[in-house]
Each structure stands twice: as C-alpha cells, then as structure tokens.
Amino acid sequence: RELGPNIIARLKFLANLLSYRQDIPQEGRIVQVDSLEGIEVRVSTFPTIHGERVALRLFRRENRQFILEELGLEPGVLKNLKDAISERTGAILFTGPGGSGKTTSIYSCLSHIAKTEKTRRHIVTLEDPVEQILEGVSQTQVSPSTGFDFSLGLRSLLRQDPEVILVGEMRDPETARVGIEAALSGHLLFSTLHAGSSCGVISRLLEMGLEPYLLTSSLRLILNQRLLRKICSNCKSNGCAACNNTGFQGRLLLLEAMVINEDMRRAILNRADRTMLEEIFVNSGGITLVSHAIAAVKAGLTTREEVLRVLGSSDCATVFYSNQGDR
C-alpha cells in the first residue's frame, strides 16, 4: 500500500500520462519494456476516493497473419461476411465487450480485402490504439487528449478519397452519423459499437438520433461476438501441464451474424423494439450467440459454466438447467 503511489507514478511516466493529474481517467501504453521483449503494456488509470486505480493489459507485438478462414466461423456466417465485405458501400458493424476478439475479426476482414481482391482498394483506419500493423492498409492512431478524436479524424479522412474505412469505435452520435453517411456515399465502413446484441446495435444507433432510413440504406451486416475458453484436448478439463492445470487451452469464437434483409429493414423503418427485431432475426434463419454456445457445449468444446460466465444469459441458464441430461 505504501509503494502504490510511487508505482503508479512510474507507470504513468512510462506511458506518457500526466502524472500530476490524479482526478481524471487516462489511457496510454508502454512500448519498450526491457524485461518483456515484444510485449506492449496498455495502461488505464481511474480515480477513486481511495486513490488512483490502474489496470494493465499485456499485448504481444508480433507480425501476425490475419486470415478470415482461420477465425473458425460457421460456413454460413463466413459466407455472409465475405458477401458483405465484397460490397463497395455500406456499413459492417461489430459489437461485443472488450477482449471478445472484435479487432482480430475486423483486421481479418481488412486483410482479406487487401490481399485477395484483384483491384486494390484504398483502405484506411482510425484506431485507438493501432494494435497490429497490416500490410496494404493505411493506419492512423487517434489522440483524443489532443483533440484528434474519431469524429475529427473521420471528417478529415473522407477528403483523402478512401474506399474502405475502419473507425475503431462509434463513441458518440456525431461519429456515428458521419460514419453512416460515409457508408451511403461510396465507402465500405467497418466499426464497433457497445451493445448487448446484434439487435441492440440498431437500438443504440436509433437512441443516438440516427434516422431509421439512414440505417436501412447503409447497414449490411451486424456481428455480435464473444470468446470462450476451449476445453483442453489433452486432459478434457481435468487439468494438466499442457493447460497449466486450468482445464482449458485455446479459445473458441462465438459469432452472431445478422444480415439486414428486407424484413429487418421494414421493422427498422417502423422503429420496432429489440424483441421484434430478434424475432425477425431468428425467423430468418439467424443463429443467436446462445444457440452457438449450447451447440459448443454439446460438442464438448467448452463447458456450461464457461458459457454462463461469458454470456451471463438467463436464456442460457434456462436451457441448460432444463436439459440436465445433455452433458
């Protein structure tokens, strides 16, 4: 406890944060760590009545290959995603909590466009921060503390004649509006939005003040994803040296892909609530995260407890506990 303030001050110094400001949240990163070669440390501070709280996240800096086919997507989901990213205009939005693999999914989409299309498109990004370097992509890191935020960056970026745009996050109504309007004017837009489900993304955009006709004309695909720990193939969850006695090794991607079809467009124009949108999604053949998760448990890829830990869904609990025989 006595060393805490000194440690925090040192971390803030290394991350180029304002060490004298303890009353505001700050974010930064430490790129050079002598004892951790190839590791980048993300630093996030938050003021509390007991003093500053600091969270550290470690990222391995490496030249990763982002390959769409290696994400482990269901064939139908992969086809929907490839169809969407082959378009020249429209918006493809991702949602999910931090650490759910959204960046990896988007990077895989951008890499697919950059490497597989015969006619190269001008791909540009606005990120906070840039997590990996992508070949064939012009990447920019925003700096909200200096006024260079997503909204300003996007407005300026549109003058650079981009064809494919990644906006790291739609954090405010202005960024969302400019992004959606860009998707209507000859650009393919990728972005993320905080919402609990694919249908929740639509509700969130409407709450931000975007008109329904903008959404029906621009949205092509909404993807909601989570990462689950996979049962260790060596010990089958009992715990062994291979999995550090955790019972888990590797991760499994759950991805819910909602195609914006004509039924969905009519519902959006009528400002249908989330329940109605979800009903249309399922009736159109959409597979929810819960359904994907239940299938993964039945296939022996993960556990019920892991699904409930990640999804926290009462729907999951109802299904699991009403089918106690399906182990």
Find the mean pLDDT for residues 168-189. 96
Q: Which residue has the tokens 């949602």?
A: 95
Kindly state the average pLDDT of the residues 245-263.
95
Six token digits for residue 253:
């991607």
Q: H or E element: which one contains 58?
A: strand 51-60
Is the pLDDT at 33 greater than 70? The verdict is: no
Task: Tell me what pLDDT residue 319 has.
Answer: 59
Sheet containing 219-231: give its strands across.
Answer: 138-141, 123-127, 164-167, 188-192, 90-95, 219-231, 248-259
**Residue 320: its pLDDT value, please?**
61
Q: Helices 173-183 and 150-157: crossing angle, nearest 10°?
A: 20
Mean pLDDT across 52-70: 87
Q: Which domains does the chain have, with CATH numbers?
A: 4-60 (3.30.450.90), 68-287 (3.40.50.300)
Answer yes or no: are the C-beta atoms of 281 and 264 closer than 8 Å: yes
Q: What is the mean pLDDT of residues 237-254?
A: 94
Predicted pLDDT at 129: 84
pLDDT at 131: 86
Task: Flag whether pLDDT at 325 surpasses 70.
Answer: no
